[in-house]
Homo-oligomer: A and B are copies of this chain.
Amino acid sequence: MKLAASIAAAGLALAFAGSAAAQSFQKPEDAIKYRRAAFTVLGAHFGPLGAMANGRIPFDARAAAHHGEVVAVVASLPWHGFVAGSDKGDTRARGEIWSDAAKFKASSDRMQAEMQKLAAASKTGNLDNLKAAFATAGGTCKSCHDDFRRD
């Protein structure tokens, strides 16, 4: 409750970005913390899908469906945290996220689309489907990291 209360007390307001209700953050640090947390959760569910796709852990259809569904929801979240002024601080975000915002949006849109396909594939109970979708989805992660994340 304390965290939620502090966020509310900090004056967290709402804004619309396209069709989604987005956060707006009182401080850039809050936005950075939010997007990093969303990526952490995303990675923790994307990772096991990759481990199954690459044979590092056994394919488990039920677990795959679970991870894919979480990925499908959480993949839409971190983008709201790339607010103006959040290019400095505890972040590896490159300035190109803001200076080439159209390219960043296109990149994040591709990623989200592929994550939806990954979620769909993860529900088929078919490892080959998962392998194919994971490879493409993983490519969108790498491409965006290459362009927009510092090493």
What is the interface of chain A, defined by CB distance below 8 A to chain B? 1-14, 16-17, 19-21, 23-24, 30, 33-34, 36-41, 43-48, 50-51, 54, 56-57, 60, 62-63, 65-70, 72-74, 76-77, 116, 119, 123, 138, 141-142, 145
- Bound together, the chains give a CA A62 to CA B15 distance in angstroms of 11
- Bound together, the chains give a CA A30 to CA B41 distance in angstroms of 11
> What's the number of copies of this chain in the assembled complex?
2
Classify the secondary structure of A's interface with B.
helix
- Bound together, the chains give a CA A13 to CA B30 distance in angstroms of 31
Partner pick for A34 among B44, B50, B54, B73, CB 8 A cutoff: B44
A58 to chain B, nearest CB (A): 8
Contacts of A39 in B (CB 8 A): 3
Can you name 9 extra interface pairs (CB under 8 A) apart from A20-B60, A73-B73?
A: A6-B69, A7-B73, A8-B47, A13-B123, A14-B63, A23-B48, A24-B48, A37-B44, A70-B77
Q: A4-B43, A14-B48, A43-B7 are in contact. Are A66 and B23 (CB under 8 A)?
A: no
